């Protein structure tokens, strides 16, 4: 099942993708898709609906994040050995964790805005893990029981803020619009092999990232188990699992985003995102 939310920002309605790739409305069955919707029982109820009887969604409405009310975003850094190498950093022996601000959340096709003073804004296509059941001190053998599904995340990063301004990485990761999520939340039954998903990202039509989850250092089960030993994961929380090589900071010479650029990113079975980069502007 592929869940989505569509409509103007802050007014999104729940929906899903039918067998033909069209959108169907779920408003008669739930007010919204949130963490409360993501339990195994509730997802089973939605999966049992007769999709052909659901109202069609006409046109091409804006897509928001596939679920609302995200409580926290936990990210794993340097989780692809070849990305660690291009970053000039050692391969970690334990997952490197940082957070991404909730205020960075963005729709999968919404504009990405360069922050004020940005010099080195970069791209990162990542597999996202969506938590469906509270996870605290979870063993790896049971980790997937706590996962509601998967999605695409663009972990947009301002490298100068992240690496040259002191302190932790968070200040370069949490700028407004820096977390495009979606287009869909895809339930686990639709993914045959988490360790064989192709990831791609292009900028202005030029392929920059081509990778596979085969080269992840820490897999999904290990990541969920590990994080749950430090932080209680709640339904609706999002984990970003790291990016393959091909980021702008790793290019020779380095290349960064500018207003007018367009990013396209995809993960096999999880759909595609597209964002236009715009200059900073006051939002109040």
pLDDT at residue number 85: 79
pLDDT band at 266 (very low <50, low <70, confident <90, very high): very high
Pair 204, 186: CB distance under 8 Å:
no
**163, 177 Cβ separation under 8 angstroms:** no
Give pLDDT tens digits for 27-46: 999 999 999 999 999 999 99
pLDDT band per the 50, 70, 90 thresholds, residue 258: very high
pLDDT in tens, 106-129: 999 999 999 999 999 999 999 999
Helix (H, G, I), strand (E, B) or coil at 138: coil
Per-residue confidence (pLDDT) for residue 26, from 0 to 100: 98
**What average pLDDT score do residues 151-166 get?**
96
Average pLDDT of the chain, as a whole number? 96
Is the per-residue pLDDT at 166 higher than 80? yes
User: Per-residue pLDDT averaged across 173-178, rounded?
Assistant: 97
Query: Both tokens of residue 98?
Result: 């940082």
Q: Would you state the pLDDT for residue 82?
A: 78
Q: How many CB atoms lie within 10 A of CB 63?
A: 23
Query: What pLDDT, on the 0 to 100 scale, is given for residue 87?
Result: 79
Confidence of residue 229 (pLDDT cuts 50, 70, 90): very high
Residue 89's pLDDT is 77
pLDDT value at residue 189:
97
Please report, to the nearest 10 degrees, the dihedral formed by the alpha carbons of residues 212, 218, 224, 227 taken in order: -130
- Of 23, 29, 97, the residue nearest 66 (C-alpha): 23
pLDDT in tens, 186-216: 999 999 999 999 999 999 999 999 999 999 9
73-278 placed in CATH 3.90.1580.10: no
What is the distance between the alpha carbons of residues 259 and 161, in angstroms, rounded to a whole number?
A: 18
Model confidence pLDDT, tens digit, residues 45-102: 999 999 999 999 999 999 999 999 999 999 999 999 877 778 787 888 999 999 999 9
| Confidence at residue 20, expressed as pLDDT on a 0 to 100 scale | 96
Where along the chain do its domains lie?
A: 2-53, 73-278
Structure tokens at 180: 């495009």
Q: How confident is the model at residue 281 (pLDDT cuts 50, 70, 90)?
A: confident
What's the confidence (pLDDT) of residue 84? 77
Rg (CA), the chain: 18
The proportion of the chain whose per-residue pLDDT surpasses 90, expressed as a percent, equals 93
């Amino acid at each position: 099942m592929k869940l989505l939310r569509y409509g103007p920002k802050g007014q999104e309605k729940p929906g899903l993708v039918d067998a033909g790739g069209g959108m169907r409305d779920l408003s008669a069955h739930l007010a919204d898709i949130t963490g409360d919707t993501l339990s195994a029982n509730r997802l089973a109820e939605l999966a049992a609906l007769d999709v052909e009887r659901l109202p069609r969604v006409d046109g091409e409405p804006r897509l928001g994040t596939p679920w609302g009310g995200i409580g926290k975003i936990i990210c794993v850094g340097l989780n692809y050995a070849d990305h660690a190498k291009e970053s000039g950093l050692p391969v970690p022996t334990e997952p490197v964790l940082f957070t991404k601000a909730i205020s960075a959340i963005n729709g999968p096709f919404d504009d990405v805005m360069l922050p004020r003073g940005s010099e080195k804004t970069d791209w990162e296509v990542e597999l996202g893990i969506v938590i469906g059941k509270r996870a605290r001190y979870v063993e790896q053998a049971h980790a997937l029981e706590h996962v509601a599904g998967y999605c695409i995340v663009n972990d947009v990063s301002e490298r100068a803020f992240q690496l040259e301004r002191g302190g932790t990485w968070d200040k370069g990761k949490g700028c407004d619009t820096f977390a495009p999520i979606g287009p869909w939340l895809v339930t686990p039954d639709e993914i045959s092999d988490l360790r064989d998903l192709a990831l791609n990202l292009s900028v202005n039509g030029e392929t920059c990232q081509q990778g596979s989850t085969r080269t992840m250092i820490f897999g999904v089960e290990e990541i969920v188990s590990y994080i749950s030993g430090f932080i209680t994961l709640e339904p609706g929380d999002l984990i970003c699992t790291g990016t393959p090589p091909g980021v702008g900071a790793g290019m020779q010479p380095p290349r960064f985003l500018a207003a007018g650029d367009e990013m396209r990113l995809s993960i096999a079975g999880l759909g595609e995102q597209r964002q236009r980069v715009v200059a900073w502007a006051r939002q109040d």
